Chains A and B, each alone.
Chain A
Amino acid sequence: MDKNYILFKSYNQGLALESLLKKSKIKYTISPTPRQLSVCCGMSIMYYKEDEDNIKKIVKENNIKVLGFYTLNG
């Protein structure tokens, strides 16, 4: 199954988005950033593809600094 990740410049931004997702009742899982996506250690957020547009909207409206949205083929 494909897995979708949001990567951040810092964990503060990740946690900020987390609380917004929680408020919007969007399902997510905090995950260590997969090696294939970045060599830096740290957190990323896993999400469901169907929520992607909603999450992108939340990111934009709240000026969350993300490194990007990525999909890994499972």
Chain B
Amino acid sequence: MGDYRKLWSNLNMNLEKHDVLCAVLPEIYSKVYLSQNDRPEGMNYFNFVVSEVHGLRIEELDNHKKQGGKVIGTFCVYVPDEVILAAGAIGVGLCGGSQFWIEDGEKVLPRNLCPLIKAFVGAKVSATCPYFQSCDMLVGETTCDGKKKAWEILNDYTPVHVMELPQMKREKNIEDWKMEIKEFISRIEELTGNKITFEKLKETVILCNDKRKALKRLYELRKNIPSPISGLDSLLISQIAFYDDPQRFIQKVNELCDELDERLKSLQPNGKKRILITGTPMAIPNWKMHSIIESLNAEIVVEETCTGTRYFENFVEENANDMDELIENIARRYMKVNCACFTPNAGRIEDIIKYVKEYKADGVIYYNLSFCQTYSVEYKKVEEALNKENIPVMFIETDYSEEDSGQIKTRVEAFIEMI
């Protein structure tokens, strides 16, 4: 158990306040995660990563920076990690999932804004997140109005590069996104002083595809009845994917999957209702919905969210003859992500229905972070399509606080009994 206070102090962190955050994590994690029965042994690695969440990985970032490397913070699955890695930089996902940061976020933002934005802004302004403090640059994107304006506030603390994400999926929009990626490459080259060559980019395209394949392998295993891994554990792995060392992460997920392959041989159906979650992202440590649902007679078998399938579905075509073609392939892969910021967004509805069938889900829970307009408006279209297919669906809008947990549990319990 390392003493990281010197490291945190060098990152200009508010140590006193950060200590309050550190104090609550072990208890919450023990209650939500370690209390689960019969967890795979391979989850020990992910226990380790959580235990050292503000320790080991921060030390790794610090060592990287001491050798002249850069750390780049991102907030969205549209930002191509391939580019960051190809310049020898480290990318870390910074979305905030803790109620702890809301109060500080609300000091600079309106209260009627989604908790994810309030949390990540709060994490920065309160100087209590060592990942934020380690970043040389932040990469924003234009997925929603709240985020667009938040970048202007964050830019007062750390330089922000904003990528303009198209909101439609016509050929010209894909072309626009390709141009945005080219600009992003220039900005990253300028920051790191490293040229992104065709060879390097191809290497990181393969690396990121390997990471997607590892996650896909994990999700494929969840199609089994029963799933050999809880939704909670699977969510944690997805959350960790955003900031862990990619190579180590791939290795550990594959080791876990080897173990799960073995488990399948002895598993018997458990009678639990199989739930698909769709909607807004769940940033670490937001385990609220999963923990409520899995405390009942149900298991979450797939998440159609940015901390689920949207993160790993579709690979970048690795075959390319030159840089331009490779960037085009990257642009095309990312434009296949179906986020509610696009209009129309029929692809998402097709995905949900496809996953319900593939994962043999009994019902869908539409998870909407409070005040996330695009997702809450899109619910109508999703509901209509699911009704047509006779797939039961319920809508839950919530934030990070625990105040409504009891009420949500009652509603989910009724839903599970009904399906």
Question: What is A's interface to B at a CB cutoff of 8 Å?
Answer: 7-11, 14-15, 18, 28-35, 38-44, 46, 67
Contacts and interface: CB of A to CB of B under 8 A. Distances in A.
Contact of B52 (A7, A28, A42, A67): A42
B23 A42 contact: no
A42 to B, nearest CB: 4
B30 interface: yes
Contacts, number: 79
A38 B1 CA distance: 9
A10 B1 contact: yes
A9 B26 contact: no
A41 B22 contact: yes
Interface in B10-28: 19, 22-23, 25-27
Interface in B244-285: none
A42 B44 CA distance: 14
Size range of the chain B interface in the assembly: 20 to 34
B51 A32 contact: yes
A43 to B, nearest CB: 4
A35 B4 contact: no
A22 B224 CA distance: 28
Main secondary structure of the interface of B (DSSP, over half): helix
20 contacts: A9-B2, A30-B45, A31-B30, A31-B47, A32-B30, A32-B51, A33-B1, A33-B26, A35-B26, A39-B23, A40-B1, A40-B2, A40-B4, A41-B1, A42-B2, A42-B52, A43-B47, A43-B48, A44-B51, A67-B1
B64 interface: no
A65 to B, nearest CB: 11
Contacts of A15: 48
B33 to A, nearest CB: 9
Q: Is the interface of A mostly helix, strand, loop or mixed?
A: mixed
- Which of B19, B26, B45, B54 has the most CB atoms of chain A within a 10 A radius of its CB? B26
A53 to B, nearest CB: 22
Interface of B: 1-4, 19, 22-23, 25-27, 29-30, 34, 44-45, 47-48, 50-56
Nearest to B30: A31
B44 A41 contact: no
B56 A11 contact: yes
B51 A34 contact: no
B30 to A, nearest CB: 7
Q: Nearest 9 A-B pairs (CB), nearest first?
A: A42-B1, A43-B51, A32-B26, A30-B47, A32-B51, A30-B44, A30-B48, A41-B22, A10-B2
A40 to B, nearest CB: 5
Contacts of B47: 29-32, 43
Nearest to B56: A11
Contacts of B1: 7-11, 14, 33, 38, 40-44, 67
Contacts of A11: 1-2, 48, 52, 55-56
Nearest to A33: B1
Contacts of B44: 18, 28-30
A41 to B, nearest CB: 5
Contacts of A44: 1, 51
A35 B50 CA distance: 15
Contacts of B55: 11, 41-42
Contacts of A46: 34
Contacts of A14: 1, 48
Given A9-B2, A32-B29, A34-B27, 20 more contacts: A8-B1, A9-B1, A11-B52, A11-B55, A15-B48, A29-B44, A30-B47, A31-B34, A31-B47, A32-B25, A33-B26, A35-B23, A39-B19, A39-B22, A40-B3, A40-B4, A41-B52, A41-B53, A43-B1, A67-B1
